[in-house]
Amino acid sequence: MKKYTYTEKKDTRSGFGAGLLEAGKKNDQVVALCADLIGSLKMDAFIKEFPERFFQIGIAEANMMGIAAGLTIGGKIPFTGTFANFSTGRVYDQIRQSIAYSDKNVKICASHAGLTLGEDGATHQILEDIGMMKMLPGMVVINPCDYNQTKAATMAIADYHGPVYLRFGRPTVPVFTDPDQKFEIGKAWMVNEGTDVSIFATGHMVWKAIEAGEILAEEGINVEIINIHTIKPLDEEAVLKSVAKTGCVVTAEEHNRIGGLGDSIAQLLATNNPVPQEYVAVNDSFGESGTPDQLMKKYGLDTEDIIKAVKKVIKRK
């Protein structure tokens, strides 16, 4: 097992804030919009640097999506910022008609995704957003794993023309990827090469997969870990190549088991190379209040759950 270490923990939303500032410096067409959550989205630095390119929309997310779509007409590259719940479910039809179907170059940037939003509870903990967004034709769906990757992804989507959903979170998590990485949309990242099982993980679950891999290595189980930061378009080549070698799969995501990364992988395998698969995901339920760690444990998204899933799926080979 390749050794991964970290010296600090940071929130992925701060990676977004840092990436937005860089994207703004690099391209003066980049503009940002926020629906009354500047601090939560870490947009302060961009606003300070480019006040004339920032738009405070107020608590009106539907209007924010429409204004973002309009700003692209005239060449702007708008980044919208609010919680994942209000970035997707609340405004699905606005995104569908005014952004996706209209092929507008809007970057929908969504913080506080999943259970790790914590104490605010289920009203704010969206676990269906990846599914909703990936179903929209033409929408790119990205869920990076740490601060550095989120920063790199934010800069990369500014250079990509087309609608993008960028999902990140609230809690501080280990920073273990390269600070100077080049983010390639749709290109999976090989975290660890192995032979016994393929673990496809996204977002906060990547670090947990690494923790699980280390424990499993001590037991003689050699796991392959691949970071699927881009859920759509899925890096089909990387997935099929890995599965051809290992013959079984565990998917890990902070999302409902219905409609997320696991389903994307299952669909690909069903039509190409059907193999046993286990899901580490929320089992079709809403979340609740609690600390992020408590919630990840209670809803089956912990390191231990990945270990159990690996052992179970290997037996099914």
Partner 1 sequence: MTPDIDKLTKVASQVRRDIVRMVHACQSGHPGGSLGCADYLVALYFHTLKHNTKFDMDGHGEDLFFLSNGHISPVWYSVLARSGYFEASELVTFRKINTRLQGHPTTHENLPGVRIASGSLGQGMSVAIGAAVAKKLNNDSRLVFSLHGDGELQEGQVWEAAMYASHNKVDNLISTIDVNGQQIDGPTDLILSLGNLRAKWEAFGWEVLEMSGNDMTDVVRVLDLAISKTSKGKPIMILMQTMMGNGVDFMMHTHKWHGTAPNDEQLAAALGQLEETLGDY
Q: How many CA atoms lie within 13 A of 301 on its CB side?
A: 27
Report yes or no: 104 and 165 within 8 Å, Cβ to Cβ.
Answer: no
For partner 1, which residue of 5, 51, 74, 218 counts as binding (CB under 8 A)? Answer: 74
Applying CB under 8 A, among 31, 164, 201, 205 the residue interacting with partner 1 is 31
Among 32, 71, 142, 295, the residue binding partner 1 under the rule CB under 8 A is 71
CB neighbours of residue 218 within 10 Å: 8
Tokens 């996706």 sit on residue: 100
Exactly one of 26, 48, 49, 60 binds partner 1 (CB under 8 A); which one? Answer: 60
229: Cα within 13 Å, side-chain hemisphere: 28
In this chain, which of 14, 85, 88, 98 binds partner 1, going by CB under 8 A?
98
C-alpha of 118 from chain center: 17
Q: If binding is defined by CB under 8 A, does position 75 make contact with partner 1? A: yes
CB of 128 to partner 1, least distance (A): 20
The residue among 59 and 244 lying less far from partner 1, judged by its C-beta, is 59
The residue (of 104 and 151) whose beta carbon lies closer to partner 1 is 104
Backbone φ and ψ for 261, nearest 5 degrees, come out as -60, -45
Mutual angle of helices 12-26 and 147-159, in 10-degree steps: 30
Q: CA 222, CA 215: separation in Å to the nearest integer?
A: 10
Applying CB under 8 A, which part among 6-14, 74-82, 176-184, 268-276 lies near partner 1? Answer: 74-82
Contacting residue, 97, 267, 273, 285, with partner 1 by CB under 8 A: 97
Give, as ranges, the residues between 181 and 200 that touch partner 1 (CB under 8 A): none
Shortest Cβ 139–partner 1 spacing (Å)? 14
Nearest CA-CA partner of 242 in 183, 186, 200? 200
Q: Report the site for partner 1 in 37-56 (rule: CB under 8 A).
A: 52-53, 55
Contact 72, 100 (CB under 8 A): no
Whole-angstrom distance, CA of residue 227 vs CA of residue 33: 29
Q: Does 66 bind partner 1 (CB under 8 A)?
A: yes
Among 40, 102, 181, 289, binds partner 1 (CB under 8 A): 102
Beta strands 77-83; 107-111: pairing state:
parallel
Q: Which stretch binds partner 1 (CB under 8 A): 88-96, 169-177, 224-232, 297-305?
A: 88-96
* Structural tokens at position 156: 């990369």
Contact residues toward partner 1 (CB under 8 A) are 31, 52-53, 55, 57-58, 60, 62-76, 78, 93-94, 96-98, 101-104
